[in-house]
Amino acid sequence: MSDRALFSPDDLAAGERLILRPWRFVKGVVALDGLPDDGWTETAFAGRSNVGKSSLINAVVRHGGLARTSNTPGRTQELNFFAPAEDALYLVDMPGYGFAKAPKEKVKAWSALVRAYLSGRPTLRRVFLLVDSRHGIKPPDREIMAMLDETAVPYQIVLTKGDKISVPALEAVTAATEAALAKHPAAFPTVLATSAEKGTGIEDLRATLAALLRD
């Protein structure tokens, strides 16, 4: 399912213009005192380990090697900030929560950083909470959703790997996810279903980013 109807041709064109600019890696942050202090708009990509955050970011910015991808859960170990030329916008690739092949103390530190960032960052305009379309919302996702509701941080569910299931199954999980979001006050009501490999839903996500920057 796509929410293309939400976007006008001008919205989609704005998203394309944003992505046509050169993108760069800005910095990796391992502690809150290392966060940028320039007041730029921030959008964060959060989700369980191996949900496809880095692959989706690369697809959105049309840069295959910008965010590091790996088949090993837990590869992203810091808050990685990316930005386009000429625009005061950060995309933040976050460490995955849940399962990770790393020492428990390190996983605990990542989790604390993720939670501290998500609950107390005034420049954070929206969290894109990535959920594997094959599995739907899991308990670790619900924990993050509850925290974002409590701290009033706006978030939007983005289903990933939509090409891995049938169209009817994707429509069903999208509808079920949207129904679940009705109980969450900080959640954006529309779910974006995407595939980094096939490009499904990517234009919509670009248009969303452009709208956040404009507003």
Cβ atoms of residues 89 and 41 within 8 Å: yes
Please count the residues of the chain: 215
The CATH class, in words, for 4-214 is: alpha beta
Residue 27: enclosing H or E segment and its boundaries? Answer: strand 23-29
Residue 125: enclosing H or E segment and its boundaries? Answer: strand 124-132
Domain boundaries, the chain: 4-214
CA 170/CA 161 separation, integer angstroms: 10
CA 91/CA 59 separation, integer angstroms: 13
Q: pLDDT per position in the chain (215 positions), as tens?
A: 444 456 888 999 999 998 888 889 999 998 889 999 999 999 999 999 889 998 999 999 987 667 765 444 444 578 999 998 888 999 999 888 765 566 677 767 777 888 888 888 899 999 999 999 999 999 989 999 998 999 899 999 999 999 999 999 999 999 999 999 999 999 999 999 999 999 999 999 999 999 998 87
